[in-house]
Every structure is written in C-alpha cells, then in structure tokens.
Amino acid sequence: MTRPKRASLRGGNGRRLQDKVALITGAGSGIGRETALLFAREGASVVVAEMNEEAGRKVASEIERAGGAAHFVRADVSKAADARAMVEAAEKAFGNLHVLFNNAGIFPDADGSVIETDEETFDLVIRVNLKGVFLGCKYGLPALLRAGGGSVINTASFVALMGSATSQVAYTASKGGVLAMTREIAVEFARKGIRANALCPGPVETPLLAKLFADPARKQRRLVHIPMGRLARPEEVARAALFLASDESSYVNGAAFTVDGAITAAYVTPE
Ligand code: NAD
C-alpha cells in the first residue's frame, strides 16, 4: 500500500483555520466566546451569533481589535427566521460557510427532577438546546454543501452519556437529543464532505454554572465525581472545538467527543 503524501493541514502561515468561515452560536459568553477568539486567532472569519446583543457585539469588536475578521448577528437560535438569517448573514459577510458550531444553550434553575420540573421549563430547554441545534443544522448544512464541505460541531454534554442523581431532566433530555441527531447527520452527510460531531464537555467554569456553584456545598457535591478534581476552563473546551473544526480531525466523524476530565471513564473517583 502506498502511503498518501503528507499534506499540510494548516494554512500557509501555519494557522489551523486559515481562509475558513465559522459561525458560532452563543458566542457572547463562556465556551462560545473563547472559541470565537481562538478561531479568529487561527485565521477564521468568525460570525458571532448571539441573542445577547451587547455581549455578542463586544466579542466581535474584540476580535477586530486584535486584527481578526468578525461579524455580529443577533439571533435567537430557537427561532427559524433567526437561524436562517444568521446563515445568510455569514454568506453575505464572508462569501461561504465552512464551520458551524451550534453552541448556544441554557440551564435554568427551574430544571430539576422529572417530578418537579414544570412543563414550561421543559419546553423552553428543548426549544433552545435541541430545536436550536436542529434549526442551525437545517439552515447551516445547505451552506456547508454550497461551500463544498465543512465541519459541524453540536454541543451536547457528558450528561448525554450518563445520568446524574442531581437531576436536570430537561437539560439532560435535550443533550441526549443533540447527540442522537448529530450521529444521524454525520451518517447522512459523510459522503458529501461534511463531518458532524457532538462535543460533550464536563462541567466548565462559565456563567452557565456560576449560579449553581456559588454554593460551595453544591459545588463540592459535583467536584467529587470529577477524577481530575476540578472544572474545565472554557479555553480547554475551545481547543477541542478547534480540533473538530479543523482538517486535523479529518477522520473524526459522528463522535461523542468528550472533554470531561475522565468523568465518563470513572467507576470510582480517586480521593
Ligand atoms: P454561557 O451561559 O456562558 O453562554 C451561553 C451563551 O448562549 C450566552 O451568551 C447566551 O446569551 C447565549 N444564548 C442563550 N440562549 C440563546 C438563544 N436562544 N439564542 C442565541 N444565543 C443564546 O454557557 P456555556 O457554559 O458557555 O455553554 C455553552 C454550551 O456548552 C451550552 O450548550 C451548554 O449547555 C454546553 N455545556 C456547558 C457546560 C458547562 O458546564 N458550562 C457543560 C457541558 C455543556
């Protein structure tokens, strides 16, 4: 068997996303924000899609101040018209779309045990976390096909893979749906130049968890289950998203890509 010639996976100046256009939802905070800044440093033109206009504009101008290319678009990912418009805005601003990072998600306080969680909370979480990813893919995939291929990263969570006794039933159900949907997308588009992977982070130090972890007892209750004994930093998840976005992950497809400090590998956690 002859080995294929080693092609460089990086752009001319060594950047991993040189000449790529990436759309990131929920890019105004946490993991999305860190990923937007990192993708821009790696040469991508970044579409910052965010419901919180102030936060989104801030990230876009941060990228531009650092010499990168960014475009802000206000979008509520749970609304079809917004999802369609954010993709149109990406193609209008930068010509093409190659990377779609469906990252936006919510984790409301009222989400808890299946017995106590009210229907409105369940519907809201499913609408943003699951339908939002569906709409992003529904309108984003045709753009990736027009560009000749690309990478889809959908944010699930380690709770898509295992259950928690400190329940958050709507969130967990939504993330399980994201993982299942991503697998199916990966299979359907595998021969069309598109890869789709579900990013499954463990607990990350972002505003999403800040309220929950403001109570030291609640924080400790979760930390004991993390073999590494600490939360992830958002940039650690952003680096995984970079790998999945770039050609370095060219054979990684349909994966539940865990970035969880060994939570899902553990039976007993070391003291
Ligand atoms: P975050 O709260 O810091 O950021 C989420 C961003 O999404 C916010 O800027 C918010 O304004 C935006 N957003 C919320 N609803 C939106 C909507 N309908 N349309 C557009 N934007 C919207 O959260 P984060 O921790 O960075 O989480 C990012 C993703 O990672 C989420 O999908 C979350 O479920 C997932 N995740 C987070 C953790 C964690 O521990 N932080 C763990 C696993 C998975």
CA 215 to ligand 1 center in whole angstroms: 20
Q: Hey, where are the domains in the chain?
A: 17-267
Q: pLDDT tier at 12 (50, 70, 90 boundaries)?
A: low
Which residue pairs from 184-191 have beta carbons closer than 8 angstroms and sit at least 24 positions apart in sequence?
185/137, 185/141, 185/152, 186/253, 186/254, 187/254, 189/141, 189/145, 190/253, 190/254
| H helix or E strand, kind and range, residue 223 | helix 216-223
Indicate if 251 belongs to the active site: no
Name the architecture of domain 17-267.
3-Layer(aba) Sandwich (3.40)
The residue contributing the CA closest to ligand 1 atom 4 is 29
Q: pLDDT tier at 9 (50, 70, 90 boundaries)?
A: low
CA 13 to ligand 1 center in whole angstroms: 32
pLDDT of residue 212: 76
Ligand 1 lined by 261 (C-beta under 6 Å)? no
* Probe residue for ligand 1, chosen from 130, 139, 206, 223 as the CB with the greatest number of ligand atoms within 8 Å: 206
Tokens of 254: 């349909």
CA 209 to ligand 1 center in whole angstroms: 10
Does 11 have pLDDT greater than 70?
no
For the segment 70-115, what is each residue's pLDDT rounded down to a tens digit? 999 999 999 999 999 999 999 999 999 999 999 999 999 999 999 9
State the pTM of this model: 0.96
pLDDT of residue 109: 94
